[in-house]
Chains A and B, each alone.
Chain A
Amino acid sequence: MLKCTLSNIDKLFEIVSASMPLYLPTEDKNGAVFKKWQPGTVWSNASNTVKGPKDLFFPQSEDLMAFKTEGKKIEVIDTRTETEDFAVFGVRACDVKSLEILDRVFLTEPRDSYYASRREHGVIISLACNRPTENCFCGTFGIDAAEPMGDVSAWLTDDALYLHANTERGQAFTKLIADLTEACDDSAVSAQKEKNRKVMKRLPLADLEANAFGGSKTEQFFHSPQWEKLSESCLGCGTCTFVCPTCQCYDIRDFKTNNGVVRYRCWDSCMYSEFTKMAHGNNRNSQKERFRQRFMHKLVYFPENNDGIFSCVGCGRCLAKCPISMNIVKVMKALEVDTDD
C-alpha cells in the first residue's frame, strides 16, 4: 500500500502527465467528465462521471481505414497508428468492471485491434467510492465499490490517497510516482472501506438482486407481458446506450472526404428504430422489441455467453439520464414481479 498526501495530488498528476497523457474526472458544466490533465486542470471527486471511461478505449467515432479511388482502382490505406501509453485515473469500481465486459466482446476472436491496442496501452487507476449516489447499485452485480480493481486500486481518505498496484502495468505506474508516495499499512484503507461499505448498505437500491436473471432464462423473460408496459413511453433515443459503460453496439460507415473515403466506426444504439434494418428488412420493428433486446441482452443473453456475468455494472447512469426515467432497475423489478407469480 502506498500513500500520497492529498496536498501532493496535483504534483502526482503532473508527474504522470510528463510521461504519458493522463485522463481524469474534471468538473464540466455538465458534471464530471474524463478529460486529459493539463496544468491547471482540477480533478473532480464526483461520485460518478456523466459518461464512463468507455470513450477512451472505444471512442464514439473512430476512423478504421481510408480508401483512395481512381477510375476502377482502389487503394486501401491502413490509418492505424501506434497508440501511446496513457493513464486513466479515478475510475470507479463499476467502470473498471465495465471494461472487463467490453474486453469480453472486443478481445475475443476475432480480436478488435483498435480496442485492443488502447487496452494494452492504458493503465487504469481505480478509485473507491466514498459517497455513492442513490442511483448506484453495483452491489447487485457483485461489485464492491469499496474494493475497486484495475491496474492500480486507489482509496481516498480525508487527507490522503492510497494506492495499490494490482498488475505489472500498475507497478510501473506506482514506480513513476514513487517520489510522491510512501509505503504504509492497510489500516487507513481498511477503515475507509468499512465506512464505505456501511454507506453501501444504506443505498436505496442495495436490496436489488439479479439472481432471477442470467443465462438460459430466455424462455422465462422473453414473452413477459411486462415489456409492453415498460417500453410504452420509451422515446427510442440512444441516451441509455450512449451513457452506458458496457453498451458497445456500433456501426461501420463510410465518409466521403474531399480526397477519398474514410471508413469509420461509431456508436450505434439497439434502441434506434433502424438498428437491425439490414439486407432482409428489420427483425425488430417495434420499440418494444428493441427495448426488450437491450435488457434481455444485459440480463440474459450476455450472461449466457459469458460465464454468468451480467452486462450491467449498476453505475446508475441510465437512471440519471433517461429522458423518461425508464431504466434497468425498473425493468428488473417489474420482471421479477412477473417471475414471482
Chain B
Amino acid sequence: MQRIGVFVCWCGSNIAGTVDVHAVAEALKTESGVVFSTDYQYMCSQAGQDIIKNAIHEHSLTGIVVCSCSPRMHEATFRKTAAAAGLNPYMVEIANIREQCSWIHKDMLSGTEKAIILGKAAVAKVNLNAPLTPGQSTVTKRALVIGGGIAGIQTALDIADAGFPVDIVEKKPTIGGKMAQLDKTFPTLDCAACILTPKMVDAAQNENIRIYSYSEVTEVGGYVGNFDVTIKRKARYVKEDICTGCGLCTEKCPQKKVPNEFNLGMDNRRAIYIPFAQAVPKVATIDADYCTMLKTGKCGVCAKVCTAGAIDYNAKDEFVKEKYGAIVVATGYNPISMEKFDEFAYSQSKDVITSLEFERLTNAAGPTSGKLLRPSDGEHPHKIVFVQCVGSRCENCAEKGKEYCSKICCMYTAKHAMLIRDKYPDTDVYVFYIDVRTPGKAFDEFYRRAVEEYGVHYIKGMVGKVVPEGKKLLVQASDLINGKQLHIDADLVVLAAAIEPDKSARPLATMLTASMDTNDFFTEAHPKLRPVESPTAGVFLSGCCQGPKDIPETVSQASAAASKVIGLLVKDHLTGNPCIAQSNELMCNGCSSCERVCPYGAITYEEKEFRMPDRTTKLRRVASVNPAVCQGCGACTVACPSGAMDLNGFKNNQIMAEVDAICKM
C-alpha cells in the first residue's frame, strides 16, 4: 500500500475560481492510501514545490498526486520535485483540474465535484504505480549512411565535421548518385559537377569518412545506439588500395560493347571501367557480366597493362561487420520505367527520351560531348516537345505510374527548355503540362524567364500520343486553354518521367524495421515535427528516400539528418523512456501478435526454458521487448490476448483503477 500525498493547486484564481480547492483536498484525504492532503496557491512555485518536498520527507510519502494544470505543462516539474526529495519521479501523477476542469466549467459545484473525481482517479492510479527507472544503453560512436548521392555525402560530411566517424555504403562503384549525372542545376544554372565533385573529394579525403563503394547492406540487427550491420563488398576484381585510377586498362580492354549506364545506355564503355572522370573512389571496376576473362578465362589484358598490379580476377564478395550508433538512409530515387507508356513511343523511337537522358545529352562529359544531337541520327533537333507528368499525378493508373507529384520535373523542364533556347535559339521548344508548380525560392521567377525571356511555348494540356513517322515524331496533344487539338512534328520528345524510390529501399526497410508508405517511400516519425527521423529509433532519413525532393531540399534534409545523428552520437548513454512495454514471460504465449503490431520492431522472440509447477521444464517461445527501441505506444498490450504484455506507467490495472474511480458515483 502506498503512502500518498495530495497537493491541490489553486493556480491563483485559475483553479480556485471555479473549484473549491479546500473541499478537493479534504475529500481526497479519505481515499485509500492517502496520508496527507493540502492545497496551495501555486504548487509549481518554489514555495509550492517545497511544500511537496517537505511532505515527502515528513510523511514518508511513496507517491504523490498533484491536482493542478495539465501534465503537459508541469508533469516534468513535479517529477523533478519528487526526485529532488528522493522519490522516484514516476510515482507522481497529475490530476488535470485546470484545463480539463476549472477553465471549462463555470459552476463551482460541478467543477469541484469533477475535480474530486479526477483527483480520486489519480490517487487510484498512484496506488498502483511502481518506481520506474529509465533503461540506459551505450552508444557506438559511428554512423552509417546508406547511399552515396548528394544526400548521403552531405550527411556524412556534416557528421564527420562534427568529429564522428561515418561510413558511406554505396552500391555503385562511385559515389555521386544522380546529381553526378546532371548538367546544370535550377534555378541558378550552376554546373552540377562543379558543385558536387568537390564534395565528393571532401568525402574521400575526410579522415572520419570511410567509403564502401560497390557495396550493399545485407543485414541489420541491434537497435538505436547499437546497430550491427553486415556490409557486402562486392568483388570489383580490382584492388582498391592499389589501383591508381590511371585508366589505362579502361582504354585497352577489348570488350567495348558494354552499355554505359552512366550515360543511360546512350553510349558504350569497356568491361573494366571507371564510371566517370571524377569518380570517387577513382578506381576501376570489372563488370563481371561482360569481362571475357572472368567468363571464359581467356583475355587478361587489363592485368597485363596494369603496372600497379591491381587486377585480381580471383576476388570474392567480402562481408564486413560493423557496429553503428545511428543509420541514415539516403537511398535516393530513380525515374520510373517508361516501357509501359506506349503512347509516347519511348520504346519505338530513340528520339523519345527521358529528362535524365536529356541531361546526359547536354552534358559536356556526356555521349555527345554536350552537343544537343538526336540519338537516332546525330542531327540537331529543331523542334523539341517536353511532356510533363509522365507517370506522375497519375490517378487510377497505379499499374504504370504514381499518384504523387514528382515535384522536380516542372523546374528541370523549365531549365532544359531555357538551356536549349539559350544555346540553340533556332530551336522551338514546347512544354505540355497539367500545372506548373514552382514553389521555391526564385523558382517562379525562373519559370517566368523561360516563358518570357526565352520564348518557350508552355501549353496546358496533355500529349495524347507520339507517333514516329520517318525522321519526325508526330505529337498529338490538346491545348486545354484554347480548347483545340495540336499536331506537332517534333524532332525530339523529352518525357519528364516520374521518380520513384530506389528498388533497394524496400528490402532495406525490412532489415531496419523502418516503416514505408504504399509508394515505398520511408515514413517519417512525424510528418511535421520529426521529418528526418524514421519511427524506428536511430534510423534517419535523408533525401529522396523519404519523398521527391530537389537538390536544395535534399541537402537541407541531409544536414538536418546529420544534426540529428550528431545529437545522438554525442551522448554517451541513451536514457530510455521507462514507460515502455514489458512482457511477463510466464504468461506469454509466443503467438507473435505483439510483434506484428509493433511499429518499431522492438519485440523479438526467444526460446526459454521454464520450470513448470509440476517441476518439469518446458521450452517456450516468449516475447521480449527491447527497452532501447520501444517507444511505449501500447499497441502490443491490446494485441496480447493473455495480458502478458503490459505498459509501464500505463498498466492495465492502473487504467482500470482510473476507470473505476471515475465511474464510481
Contacts and interface: CB of A to CB of B under 8 A. Distances in A.
Question: In the complex, is A directly touching B at CB under 8 Å?
Answer: yes
A70 B660 contact: no
Interface stretch (A82-90, A134-142, A146-154, A278-286): A278-286
B665 A258 contact: yes
B280 to A, nearest CB: 68
A110 to B, nearest CB: 32
Nearest to B34: A71
Contacts of B30: 70-71
Contacts of A282: 613
A281 B660 contact: no
A256 interface: yes
A286 B660 CA distance: 36
Nearest to A258: B664
Nearest to A256: B660
Contacts of A71: 30
Contacts of B663: 258
Given A70-B30, A71-B30, A256-B660, A281 B665 contact: no
Contacts of B614: 285-286
Interface in A245-264: 256, 258
Contacts of A286: 614
A281 B613 contact: yes
A231 to B, nearest CB: 13
A339 to B, nearest CB: 27
Contacts of B664: 258
Nearest to A288: B614
Contacts of A258: 663-665
Nearest to B615: A285
Interface in B1-53: 30
A285 B613 contact: yes
A282 B614 CA distance: 9
A107 B46 CA distance: 67
Interface string B601-638: 00000000000111000000000000000000000000
Interface in A261-313: 281-282, 285-286
Interface string B641-665: 0000000000000000000100111
Interface in A37-87: 70-71
Contacts of B612: 285
A281 B614 CA distance: 10
B27 to A, nearest CB: 12
Contacts of A281: 613
Nearest to B613: A285
A71 B29 CA distance: 9
Interface in B565-600: none
B42 to A, nearest CB: 30
Contacts of A256: 660
B662 to A, nearest CB: 11
B3 to A, nearest CB: 13
Nearest to A273: B613
Interface in B69-119: none
A286 B663 CA distance: 41
Nearest to B660: A256
B617 to A, nearest CB: 14
B116 to A, nearest CB: 15
A71 B33 CA distance: 8
A281 B611 CA distance: 14
Contacts of B660: 256
A45 to B, nearest CB: 45
A281 B612 CA distance: 12
A256 B663 CA distance: 13
A256 B124 CA distance: 13
Nearest to B31: A71
| Most interface-central of A256, A282, A285 (chain B CB within 10 A) | A285
Contacts of B613: 281-282, 285
Nearest to A71: B30
B83 to A, nearest CB: 30
Contacts of B665: 258
Nearest to A73: B30
A70 B29 CA distance: 10
12 contacts: A70-B30, A71-B30, A256-B660, A258-B663, A258-B664, A258-B665, A281-B613, A282-B613, A285-B612, A285-B613, A285-B614, A286-B614
Given A70-B30, A285-B613, 10 more contacts: A71-B30, A256-B660, A258-B663, A258-B664, A258-B665, A281-B613, A282-B613, A285-B612, A285-B614, A286-B614
Interface of B: 30, 612-614, 660, 663-665
Interface of A: 70-71, 256, 258, 281-282, 285-286
Q: Which 4 A-B pairs have the closest CB atoms?
A: A285-B614, A285-B613, A258-B664, A71-B30
